[in-house]
Amino acid sequence: MNTVRPMEYDLLFDFLRVVEAAAIEAARTMGMGKRKYSDHVAVEKMREVMDTIPMDGTIVIGEGERDEAPMLYIGERVGMGAKDGNARSYPKVDIAVDPLEGTNLCATGSANAIAVLAAAERGGLLHAPDIYMNKIVVGPSVRGAVDIDAPVKENLNAIASRLRRKVEDLTIIVLDRPRHNQLIQDIRDAGARIRLISDGDLSAGISAAVAGSGVHALMGIGGGPEGVITAAAMKCLNGEIQARFVLKEQLEQAEDRAKIADGLVERMRKMGISDPTRVYHTNDLAPGEKIIFAACGVTDGTLLRGVRFFGTGKRTQSLVMTTETMHVRFVDSVHVEGGPDAFVRFDRM
């Protein structure tokens, strides 16, 4: 028996601390209506706690390029290795972060905002540019049954058959955007139910891979970086994501992301993506063998409760998992602060 403690085990708890801290910080700003500010505090906190981790970390998916993001930019070195100049004595880790997925959700106090990251050994996560990505995400029982290029109806039939139910009994999550008008129509025509969401296709994709969440698939176009982090989660949950970058949508519809359109193909090539039209499967997006995924609820959501503040502390709920041990942990943490008189209340999850 191998008694060596896997690297992931050592870092798991540290990454839990990172997402918890970012989520708490963001949750304080819930409902302020300041999307950018909510994101900013989550980023700052995530960065701060990251540097207390004994690792030689590199951000591979983050807040943008170095010149546009002061912190957690792509290529930034994080962890104790970056601080004490002794990088060689720490494990090398690539990290994809989304300190606040669903900035609007947090700003308006809506469901499903999370603080999330994925980590892997060097090279274990695709360096995806921040452009649109078409995705289909399903859970373990449906793995291998869908094809991103197949007609929507065919995929829905395949999902229904694997889940031993009628298409009418399926719920599909779709981002509520005009670009999805046709997709929504196709799902309706096939007879499945739809949950339209305003934001947050990463947490939605994870729900689709967890039985009992009431969601059976995620379909449609969201962010590429979110797709990579979703893939990391799928590896830990035995789910599946298929995806393809969407250059056309990018050029036609994007506002925030439009500025990236210039020289896009060239930029993708530099990131190692030579064929922008190819289909990426779970393992292409997250090829790592040692993957850690950690997410903490900011606002109440389908899978995770949001941060609760009370007189003597805070309570968070997180999901942490690794590929090496296949433990999927829902962690309910009470952050006690009130001194000797503080008490912890039993809370059935």
* Beta carbon of residue 239, minimum distance to ligand VTB (angstroms, whole number): 17
- 């603080």: which residue's tokens? 115
Q: Find, among 141, 126, 327, the residue nearest to 231 by Cα.
A: 126
Query: What is d(CA 136, CA 221) in angstroms, rounded to the nearest whole number?
Result: 9
Q: Find, among 69, 66, 117, the residue nearest to 94 by Cα.
A: 117
* Beta carbon of residue 289, minimum distance to ligand VTB (angstroms, whole number): 26
Length of the chain in terms of residues written: 349
* Beta carbon of residue 4, minimum distance to ligand VTB (angstroms, whole number): 37
Residue with Cβ nearer ligand VTB (82 or 114): 114
* Beta carbon of residue 334, minimum distance to ligand VTB (angstroms, whole number): 28
* Beta carbon of residue 100, minimum distance to ligand VTB (angstroms, whole number): 8
Residue with Cβ nearer ligand VTB (93 or 215): 215
Residue 244 contacts residue 280 (beta carbons within 8 Å): yes
Residue with Cβ nearer ligand VTB (91 or 222): 222
- 């892997």: which residue's tokens? 120
**Residue 318: strand, helix, or coil:** strand
* Beta carbon of residue 17, minimum distance to ligand VTB (angstroms, whole number): 23
- 């990505």: which residue's tokens? 133
DSSP E strands: which ranges in 132-216? 132-138, 171-175, 193-197
Residue with Cβ nearer ligand VTB (11 or 95): 95
DSSP-based helix, strand, coil % in the chain, nearest 5? 35, 25, 40
* Beta carbon of residue 257, minimum distance to ligand VTB (angstroms, whole number): 6
Residue with Cβ nearer ligand VTB (256 or 341): 256
- Residues lying near ligand VTB in the complex (CB under 6 A) are found at 101-102, 177, 199-202, 222-223, 226, 256
Identity of the amino acid at 281: H
Residue with Cβ nearer ligand VTB (167 or 202): 202
Query: What is d(CA 61, CA 304) in angstroms, rounded to the nearest whole number?
Result: 23
Residue 205, both tokens: 């994709």
Identify the bridge partners of residue 331 per DSSP, sorted by sequence position: 318
Residue with Cβ nearer ligand VTB (67 or 256): 256
Q: Find, among 290, 110, 74, the residue nearest to 200 by Cα.
A: 110
Query: What is d(CA 126, CA 98) in angstroms, rounded to the nearest whole number?
Result: 15
Residue with Cβ nearer ligand VTB (82 or 197): 197
* Beta carbon of residue 331, minimum distance to ligand VTB (angstroms, whole number): 23
